[in-house]
Protein backbone atom coordinates (compact mmCIF):
# COMPACT_ATOMS: atom_id res chain seq x y z
CA UNK A 1 0.00 0.00 0.00
CA UNK A 2 1.31 3.45 -0.89
CA UNK A 3 -0.09 4.88 2.27
CA UNK A 4 -2.33 7.91 2.49
CA UNK A 5 -2.14 9.88 -0.72
CA UNK A 6 -2.76 13.59 -0.87
CA UNK A 7 -2.92 15.98 -3.78
CA UNK A 8 -1.80 18.49 -4.70
CA UNK A 9 1.46 18.55 -2.76
CA UNK A 10 1.78 22.28 -3.29
CA UNK A 11 -0.82 24.85 -4.18
CA UNK A 12 -0.33 28.56 -4.69
CA UNK A 13 -3.43 30.59 -5.29
CA UNK A 14 -4.74 34.07 -5.00
CA UNK A 15 -7.08 35.33 -2.34
CA UNK A 16 -10.68 34.68 -3.22
CA UNK A 17 -10.03 31.58 -5.29
CA UNK A 18 -11.48 28.19 -4.51
CA UNK A 19 -9.07 25.53 -3.30
CA UNK A 20 -9.75 21.80 -3.27
CA UNK A 21 -7.46 19.38 -1.49
CA UNK A 22 -7.80 15.65 -2.03
CA UNK A 23 -7.08 12.59 0.02
CA UNK A 24 -7.08 8.86 -0.56
CA UNK A 25 -6.91 6.92 2.71
CA UNK A 26 -5.29 3.56 3.20
CA UNK A 27 -7.53 0.82 1.85
CA UNK A 28 -9.60 -0.74 4.63
CA UNK A 29 -9.26 2.17 7.01
CA UNK A 30 -12.58 3.45 8.30
CA UNK A 31 -11.50 6.70 9.92
CA UNK A 32 -10.28 9.74 8.02
CA UNK A 33 -8.98 12.94 9.55
CA UNK A 34 -8.12 16.36 8.19
CA UNK A 35 -5.54 18.38 10.13
CA UNK A 36 -4.02 21.79 9.55
CA UNK A 37 -0.45 22.57 10.55
CA UNK A 38 0.87 26.07 11.20
CA UNK A 39 3.89 27.31 13.09
CA UNK A 40 1.76 29.28 15.51
CA UNK A 41 -0.85 26.65 16.36
CA UNK A 42 0.76 23.34 15.51
CA UNK A 43 -1.54 20.57 14.35
CA UNK A 44 -5.24 21.30 14.57
CA UNK A 45 -7.94 18.77 13.87
CA UNK A 46 -10.41 20.21 11.40
CA UNK A 47 -12.84 17.35 10.86
CA UNK A 48 -12.97 13.59 10.91
CA UNK A 49 -15.10 10.92 9.29
CA UNK A 50 -16.05 7.42 10.31
CA UNK A 51 -17.31 5.14 7.57
CA UNK A 52 -17.64 8.18 5.29
CA UNK A 53 -19.87 10.03 7.76
CA UNK A 54 -18.64 13.31 9.28
CA UNK A 55 -18.47 12.83 13.03
CA UNK A 56 -16.95 16.04 14.37
CA UNK A 57 -16.42 19.20 12.36
CA UNK A 58 -16.03 21.52 15.32
CA UNK A 59 -12.49 22.30 14.25
CA UNK A 60 -13.50 23.70 10.88
CA UNK A 61 -12.61 27.35 11.22
CA UNK A 62 -15.37 28.97 9.18
CA UNK A 63 -18.12 28.34 6.72
CA UNK A 64 -15.57 28.88 4.00
CA UNK A 65 -14.27 25.41 4.81
CA UNK A 66 -16.14 22.27 3.83
CA UNK A 67 -15.20 18.60 3.63
CA UNK A 68 -16.78 15.61 1.99
CA UNK A 69 -16.19 11.91 1.82
CA UNK A 70 -18.32 10.49 -0.98
CA UNK A 71 -16.86 7.01 -0.64
CA UNK A 72 -14.40 5.01 1.42
CA UNK A 73 -11.47 5.84 -0.81
CA UNK A 74 -11.76 9.56 -1.35
CA UNK A 75 -12.20 12.77 0.58
CA UNK A 76 -11.95 16.46 -0.26
CA UNK A 77 -11.36 19.58 1.77
CA UNK A 78 -12.56 22.72 0.07
CA UNK A 79 -11.89 26.35 0.91
CA UNK A 80 -14.06 28.91 -0.81
CA UNK A 81 -13.13 31.73 -0.91
CA UNK A 82 -9.54 31.33 0.22
CA UNK A 83 -7.75 33.93 2.33
CA UNK A 84 -4.05 34.50 3.10
CA UNK A 85 -4.55 33.28 6.68
CA UNK A 86 -5.51 29.88 5.28
CA UNK A 87 -1.91 29.37 4.23
CA UNK A 88 -0.75 26.21 6.00
CA UNK A 89 0.06 22.57 5.45
CA UNK A 90 -3.06 20.43 5.38
CA UNK A 91 -2.69 16.80 6.39
CA UNK A 92 -4.98 13.91 5.84
CA UNK A 93 -4.68 10.84 8.05
CA UNK A 94 -6.50 7.55 8.30
CA UNK A 95 -6.81 4.77 10.84
CA UNK A 96 -8.50 1.46 11.35
CA UNK A 97 -11.01 0.90 14.11
CA UNK A 98 -9.53 -2.45 15.07
CA UNK A 99 -5.99 -1.15 15.00
CA UNK A 100 -4.05 0.14 17.99
CA UNK A 101 -5.71 3.28 19.38
CA UNK A 102 -3.77 6.42 18.68
CA UNK A 103 -2.07 5.13 15.58
CA UNK A 104 -2.84 7.43 12.70
CA UNK A 105 -1.25 7.16 9.27
CA UNK A 106 -0.56 10.52 7.70
CA UNK A 107 -0.22 11.65 4.14
CA UNK A 108 2.64 13.85 3.02
CA UNK A 109 0.52 16.95 3.28
CA UNK A 110 -0.65 19.68 0.92
CA UNK A 111 1.18 22.97 1.35
CA UNK A 112 -1.22 25.81 0.58
CA UNK A 113 -0.10 29.37 -0.04
CA UNK A 114 -2.75 31.99 -0.52
CA UNK A 115 -1.41 35.28 -1.85
Partner 1 sequence: AQRVTQPEKLLSVFKGAPVELKCNYSYSGSPELFWYVQYSRQRLQLLLRHISRESIKGFTADLNKGETSFHLKKPFAQEEDSAMYYCAPHRSGSARQLTFGSGTQLTVLP
Name the residues that contact partner 1, by CB under 8 A.
3-4, 31, 33, 35, 39, 41-45, 48, 50, 55-56, 91, 93, 95, 97, 100-104, 106-109
Q: Whole-number minimum distance, CB 45 to partner 1, in Å? A: 6
- Calpha distance 99→43 (Å, rounded): 22
**Cβ atoms within 10 Å, residue 74:** 15
Residue whose CB is less far from partner 1, 12 or 55: 55
Residue whose CB is less far from partner 1, 33 or 82: 33
Residue whose CB is less far from partner 1, 1 or 41: 41
Residues 6+ apart with CB under 8 A from 75: 22, 23, 24, 25, 32, 34, 49, 67, 68, 69, 92
Q: Whole-number minimum distance, CB 10 to partner 1, in Å? A: 13
Amino acid sequence: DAGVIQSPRHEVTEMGQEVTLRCKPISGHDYLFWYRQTMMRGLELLIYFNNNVPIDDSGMPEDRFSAKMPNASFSTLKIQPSEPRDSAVYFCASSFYAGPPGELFFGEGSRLTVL
